[in-house]
Amino acid sequence: MYNKEFPEDFMWGASTSAYQVEGAAFTNGKKPSQQDIINKENYKKRGFATAEIASDHYHHYKEDVALMKEMGFKAYRFSIAWSRVFPDGVGDVNEEGIQFYRDLIDELLANEIEPIVTLYHYDLPWALVEKYNGWLSREVVKDFEYYATYIIEEFKDKVKYWTTINEQSIIVQFWTQKCFIPEELRSNDQLRYQINHHMNLAHAIACKLVHEKVKDGMVGSAIGYAPVYPLTSSPQDAMAAQNAHDLHNAFYLDIYFKGIYTKSAMAYLESKGLAPEIEPGDMELIKEGYSDFLALNYYYSDCVKACPEDDELRFAGVNWTGVKGAMDGHEHQPGFFQMCANPELETSDWDWAIDPTGLEYLLRDIYTRYNKPLMITENGLGAYDTLTEDGRIHDPYRVEYLKNHIKAMKKAMDYGVEVLAYCPWSAIDLLSTSNGIKKRYGFIYVDRTDDDPKECKRIKKDSFYWYKKLIESNGIDF
Ligand code: BG6
């Protein structure tokens, strides 16, 4: 069963996030975000580029939008840097900062590219970290409301599609990379789930604001999602897969679509002293802030097996080097599940399992459970690219990856799943959240290294031409 036609209005495009692509970190009134600080540390420790220049999209945005137009983009998903608009998190707006987003959105609309705006992608204003430890404090929720109210009001007539907070599930796993967490608090794992609870409140507020202010607006979260497979067909491993699904996936989606915390996941967290503190009224607010769709960021599937009760709690590992097999550990949730490598799947150089079928699987699964439209807002292969002597970048591995994932997405659509957009990661090369600039994802090459930003010259990769052809034929010719 495979019917090749995509809907006429299907939104082909790609994604980026502010701190990973913009640069100009201290330009025209912008003050630091926590990512400016975290990435400075990463440079010292691991030699990864900082966010200071990134891909210098701030100064190249017209050229970048023109390249997106040349590829035929119907949509572009990007995020707004909170500290460019409100350098201190709250208070006076930075006119030059907001003007950048007005110009960017106008440029997109002039080129008939639908803006899909993410309100928050890891880059909390540093001022709020200094003031009250950022997301660790409940105070952040009202400051997020102040920021979101301003942005949604500003762009309510130009932006229809909004995503709220990027990848809460990933923030819980990799909290010190995605949030600045003071050294002395890092051993308290309950705080991961407390941060997530604060984000659930902020997410609900943003959903309500879009519903109030944006005529025909649609809002949802962008979630990092991995379907979970059992390592073997043993009932114990199958149970572990159910447990991991409940804690990693249902725990977020039930909030967005049902306004509840998944009971099994909460019972587990309570038994380990990890459950968040919930105040009276919180769950009512969460219920009111319902989602219209779900944006999905999909890179890999997960594999789990049973985990002994007396094991030690551990969260996800990272491959810091880009040498296959160098992942520094796996998550263990004692008595619930432990993550492991899937022997059936090839991996990227950073040990991420490559699994197109996982995309069909998760789209079918989520749509069956929640019956809401879905969007792919990230999907892609982080890879080493080489600028060859002919001045080109030959990236057949990226084309292969994307092609197989698009086919899998289409299969799910042919089974009735409503998918509105495919916006892979990333429109142009950018700073990886965990591995610097050498791990590249873009259709457009940015000529720089981790140490040397050079001129950030743009060069079209082979995948650029491939994607252009695919969009031209609305998904038939690839
Ligand atoms: C997603 C994030 O988790 O994965 C992006 O939303 C990120 O910001 C992408 O860049 C790829 O991860 P990484 O660590 O390779 O940059």
Residue 193 has pLDDT above 60, yes or no: yes
215 C-alpha to center of ligand 1: Å?
A: 31
CA distance 278 to 130: 24
The alpha carbon dihedral of 17, 175, 239, 348 has a sign of positive
ipTM of predicted complex: 0.99
Q: Residue 478's pLDDT is what? A: 74
Q: Residue 1's pLDDT is what? A: 54
Contact 352, 372 (CB under 8 A): no
Q: Whose CA is nearest to atom 16 of ligand 1?
A: 432
Structure tokens at 146: 């102040």
Tell me the average pLDDT across 245-256. Answer: 98
Angle at 159 between CA 156 and CA 160, to 5 degrees: 100
Residue 422 has pLDDT above 70, yes or no: yes
User: Is 378 a known active-site residue?
Assistant: yes
Q: Among residues 189, 58, 79, 174, which one has the least CA distance to residue 124? A: 79
**Banded pLDDT at 35 (limits 50, 70, 90):** very high
Secondary structure (3-state) at 305:
strand
CA distance 468 to 477: 10
CATH number listed for the domain at residues 11-227+239-300+345-472: 3.20.20.80
Active-site residue (options: 22, 52, 114, 167): 167
Question: What pLDDT, in 10s, does the model give residues 386-413?
Answer: 999 999 999 999 999 999 999 999 999 9
**Banded pLDDT at 477 (limits 50, 70, 90):** confident
Contact 401, 354 (CB under 8 A): yes
Question: What pLDDT, in 10s, does the model give residues 80-107?
Answer: 999 999 999 999 999 999 999 999 999 9
Residue 257 has pLDDT above 70, yes or no: yes
Residue 46 has pLDDT above 60, yes or no: yes
Residue 139 has pLDDT above 80, yes or no: yes
CA dihedral 54, 60, 63, 67 (to 10 degrees): 20
CA distance 464 to 181: 38
Which residue, chain included where needed, has tokens 């990092």? 224
State which H helix or E strand residue 161 sits in. strand 161-166
Atom of ligand 1 nearest to the CA of 350: 15
Contact 14, 402 (CB under 8 A): no
Residue 222 has pLDDT above 70, yes or no: yes
Atom of ligand 1 nearest to the CA of 167: 6
Atom of ligand 1 nearest to the CA of 439: 15
Question: What pLDDT, in 10s, does the model give residues 321-336?
Answer: 999 999 999 999 999 9
92 C-alpha to center of ligand 1: Å?
A: 31
User: Is 167 a known active-site residue?
Assistant: yes
Atom of ligand 1 nearest to the CA of 166: 6
CA dihedral 184, 190, 194, 199 (to 10 degrees): 90
Amino acid at 34: Q
Among 169, 425, 439, the mutation site with the greatest number of ligand 1 atoms within 8 A of its Cβ is 425
449 C-alpha to center of ligand 1: Å?
A: 18
CA distance 330 to 323: 17
Q: Residue 83's pLDDT is what? A: 98
Structure-model confidence comparison of residues 50 and 4, the more confident one: 50
313 C-alpha to center of ligand 1: Å?
A: 24
CB burial readout 54-76, b (16+ within 10 A) else e = bbbbbebbeebbebbbebbbbbb
CA distance 194 to 258: 20
Tell me the average pLDDT across 365-369. Answer: 98
Tell me the average pLDDT across 345-349. Answer: 97
**Per-residue CA distances from 131 to 134, 427, 436 (Å):** 7, 35, 28
CB-defined site of ligand 1, < 6 Å: 17, 20, 166-167, 170, 224, 297, 378, 382, 425, 432-435, 439
pTM over 0.90? The answer is yes
**Per-residue CA distances from 61 to 23, 57, 101, 467 (Å):** 11, 5, 10, 20
378 C-alpha to center of ligand 1: Å?
A: 8
Burial of 157 (0-12, 13-18, 19+ CB in 10 A): exposed
Among 119, 165, 378, 426, the mutation site with the greatest number of ligand 1 atoms within 8 A of its Cβ is 378
**Which residues lie across from 241 on neighbouring strands?**
none
CA distance 316 to 304: 12
Mean of the per-residue pLDDT values for the chain?
A: 97
Among 42, 116, 433, the mutation site with the greatest number of ligand 1 atoms within 8 A of its Cβ is 433
Q: Among residues 327, 355, 186, 173, which one has the least CA distance to residue 247? A: 173
- Percent of the chain at pLDDT > 70 equals 99
State which H helix or E strand residue 469 sits in. helix 462-472
**Per-residue CA distances from 236 to 54, 60, 267, 336 (Å):** 45, 53, 19, 10
